[in-house]
Amino acid sequence: MTDKLFEPVQLGALELQNRIVMAPMTRDRAGPGDIPSDLMVEYYRQRASAGMIVTEGTQPSREGKGYWRTPGIHSQEQIDGWRRVADAVHGEGGKIVMQLMHCGRVVVPENRGYDADIIAPSAIVCSDPVPGPDGVPAPTAMPTALTVDGIAVLVEEFSQVAKNARAADIDGVELHCASGYLINQFLNPVSNQRDDEWGGAAENRIRFPMAVLSAMADAIGSDRVGFRISPGNPYNDMDVSAPEETFIPFLKAADNLNLAYVHVVDMGLEELDSLAMIRENWSGPIIANNGLKENSAAQILAEGRADVVSFGRAFIANPDLVERFRSGAELAKPDYTKLYVGEAEGYTNYPAST
């Protein structure tokens, strides 16, 4: 039954050699200037046998950074750094798309190492603490509500960084619309209390995500743009009362753009079957994620509930996860104390099984 995991698949312009995708994971190992480090080049190279790698969340601007030592894609040095990552992955026959993650209001200022505005749809603070420097939980700062002009600047920024990713030879981009970050802050009524055309009814709350996806599709081609959602996820202080009221119109609108894929963090809720909701309202490829094992992933593919599956934590200690699934080798366990610290330790020092 697991055979389907190893079948090639096409996501828009992206040709995957298998259906086992590496999920985006922030690991806080960027160098000074938020430039991809040598360690990052090695880390992604080691995991290139995945059908596709989705990079850690990468900020499109100085304002987009919320966590410690996350990489950017807005300076020439960052573009050059990412080209080294892309070359390493391509050299091993892999594919790599960049997750574009703007934190919006989810910012611990000390994580940045510089001063920049903290922006969000509305001036409402996120009450969940998030990891500060060295991973220690810290409070987030109060954001400033974006002006209408500020929203237009942001849309242009996303369009530019999609081009930057392609200039770095990255194969495509994934817009992070999940887990309570900027795009999710626009989608969610708790964080978006605007009374203009960018807030209020669902058709207004999806306007900014749609404007960004359209701009990026125009910039690099719709078949190289995907997006990630997590309907019903309370993370970072999101309201979860009626996710389908927002996500059905969002999926229907996004479907008109002919994008490469939607990537869903399936929360496994009794009251919401995310995969079924997506199949009903979206005609493109689906990547399913969250807590999957080899067998449960294969079953989702066999039942046609998704076309591709992604694994996060399993890739941390198993750089050759695809080969381990193929051979039935045992999976190594990650050292969770080294997720966001430790440099090479707990990052590039996990060996392959053979």
- Provide the binding-site residues for ligand FMN, judged by CB under 6 A: 23-26, 56-57, 99, 101, 176, 178-179, 228, 265, 289-292, 311-314, 339
Is the Cβ of residue 62 or residue 200 nearer to ligand FMN in the bound state? 62
Write out the E strands in the chain: 9-11, 14-16, 20-22, 52-54, 96-100, 119-120, 130-131, 137-138, 144-145, 172-176, 225-229, 261-265, 286-289, 308-311
Nearest residue to ligand FMN, using CB? 312
Strands 130-131 and 137-138, sheet pairing: antiparallel
Read off the tokens for 77: 């040095």
At 182, which helix (H) or strand (E)? helix 182-187
Q: Which amino acid is at 264?
A: V
**Residue in 43, 44, 67, 181 annotated catalytic:** 181
In terms of CB distance, is 252 or 293 closer to ligand FMN?
A: 293
Nearest residue (CB) to ligand FMN, 147 versus 336: 336
C-alpha torsion 215→8→311→158, nearest 10: -10
All residues at 6 or more sequence positions from 31 whose CB lies less than 8 Å from its CB, including other chains:
37, 81
Cβ at position 340, least distance to ligand FMN in Å: 7
Question: Would you say how long the chain is, in residues?
Answer: 354
Q: Which tokens hold the place of 182?
A: 């900027």
Nearest partner of 182 among 240, 143, 221, judged by Cα = 143
Q: How far is the CB of 56 from ligand FMN (least distance, A)?
A: 5
Please, are residues 312 and 346 in contact by the beta-carbon 8 Å criterion? no
Measured from the CB atom, is 25 or 138 closer to ligand FMN? 25
Beta carbon of residue 146, minimum distance to ligand FMN (angstroms, whole number) = 22
Query: Rounded to the nearest whole angstrom, what is the least distance from the CB of residue 140 to ligand FMN in the complex?
Result: 16
DSSP symbol at 50? S
C-beta closer to ligand FMN: residue 206 or 309:
309
67 catalytic? Reply is no
CB of 309 to ligand FMN, least distance (A): 9
Q: Helix axis angle, 207-220 relative to 243-255, nearest 10°? A: 30
Minimum CB distance to ligand FMN, residue 233 (Å): 10
CB of 289 to ligand FMN, least distance (A): 5
Half-sphere CA count of 241, side-chain side, radius 13 A: 4
Dihedral angle of Cα 146, 150, 155, 161, to the nearest 10 degrees: -100
Q: Which is nearer to ligand FMN, 166 or 176 (CB)?
A: 176
Rank residues 56 and 307 by Cβ distance to ligand FMN and give the closer one: 56
Largest Cα separation within the chain, whole Å, is 58
Cβ within 8 Å of residue 310, ≥6 positions away: 20, 21, 22, 23, 54, 263, 287, 288, 289, 292
Q: Is 180 left (phi over 0), alpha (psi -120 to 50) or beta?
A: left
Q: Which residues are catalytic?
A: 181
